[in-house]
């Protein structure tokens, strides 16, 4: 449609001289862009690469929260991140190689719960069952503080339509079988498919 036709169609709103016309276009463009932004559904793509209990939290917390905000959310599980999709979750956490992790009692009086008891790696690495102990303490802390378990968060993600996609290559690499993992996995994909999904995401995070 040319300018003359536009002016004929909307004589009251369209200016006639060039400078005014340009200003009008600029204003309309801003309005249109704002309209588009307001109607857009934001999207979140998280890549989950870690298979420990502590590192399982960020992907599930962010994806479930994004979903509660009305966003489209997806998590791509690759390498050790695939552990978070097992039918039987056995995630562990260890202060070994994780020096920032506090070692605190989940129960007892407040003064005791505040004390950090750092265990040297030499001890924690050689003491049989230390990882299980640390995991059990963390699980009790999580429960006592009203933080959901990983299983609970994963169920919420499934319930709220977070798209769970998993890496095909990892399954082949570690000789896993697809039926060891939950059936709610939307798709088994590779890097190319993932990038195709992630390219339009507003927020893309690597965990």
Q: Which residues make up the interface to another protein (CB under 8 A)? A: 61, 64-65, 68-70, 145-148, 156, 160
Reduced to 3 states (helix: H, G, I; strand: E, B; else coil), residue 124 is: helix
- As measured in angstroms, the least distance from the Cβ of 146 to another protein is 4
- As measured in angstroms, the least distance from the Cβ of 108 to another protein is 19
Closer of 156 and 189 to another protein (Cβ): 156
- Cα distances (Å, whole numbers) of residue 124 to 113, 114, 117, 130: 20, 20, 12, 6
- As measured in angstroms, the least distance from the Cβ of 145 to another protein is 5
Closer of 145 and 199 to another protein (Cβ): 145
* Helix or strand run (H / E) with residue 167: strand 163-167
Closer of 104 and 193 to another protein (Cβ): 104
- As measured in angstroms, the least distance from the Cβ of 143 to another protein is 10
Beta bridge partners of 164: 75
52 with 94: CB under 8 angstroms?
yes
Closer of 22 and 152 to another protein (Cβ): 152
85 with 182: CB under 8 angstroms?
yes
* Alpha-helix runs per DSSP H in the chain: 3-9, 18-39, 53-68, 110-114, 121-126, 130-144, 150-159, 168-173, 191-198
Find the helix packing angle between 53-68 and 130-144, rounded to 10°: 30
Closer of 68 and 191 to another protein (Cβ): 68
- As measured in angstroms, the least distance from the Cβ of 138 to another protein is 14
Reduced to 3 states (helix: H, G, I; strand: E, B; else coil), residue 44 is: strand
């Amino acid at each position: 449609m040319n300018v003359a036709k536009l002016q004929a169609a909307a004589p009251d709103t369209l200016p006639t001289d060039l400078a005014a016309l340009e200003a009008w276009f600029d204003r309309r463009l801003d309005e249109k862009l704002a309209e588009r932004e307001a109607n857009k559904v934001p999207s979140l793509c998280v890549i989950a690469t870690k298979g420990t209990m502590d590192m399982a939290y960020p992907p599930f917390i962010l994806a479930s929260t994004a979903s509660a905000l009305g966003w489209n959310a997806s998590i791509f599980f690759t390498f050790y991140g695939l552990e978070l999709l097992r039918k039987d979750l056995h995630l562990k956490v260890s202060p070994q190689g994780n020096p920032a992790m506090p070692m605190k009692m989940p129960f007892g009086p407040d003064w005791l719960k505040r004390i950090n008891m750092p265990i040297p790696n030499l001890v924690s690495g050689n003491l049989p069952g230390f990882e299980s102990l640390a995991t059990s303490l963390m699980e009790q802390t999580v429960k006592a503080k009203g933080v959901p378990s990983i299983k609970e968060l994963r169920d919420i993600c499934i319930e709220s339509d977070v798209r769970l996609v998993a890496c095909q290559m990892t399954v082949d690499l570690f000789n896993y079988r697809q039926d060891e993992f939950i059936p709610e996995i939307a798709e088994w994909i590779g890097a190319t498919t993932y990038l195709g999904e992630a390219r339009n995401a507003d927020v893309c995070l690597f965990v």
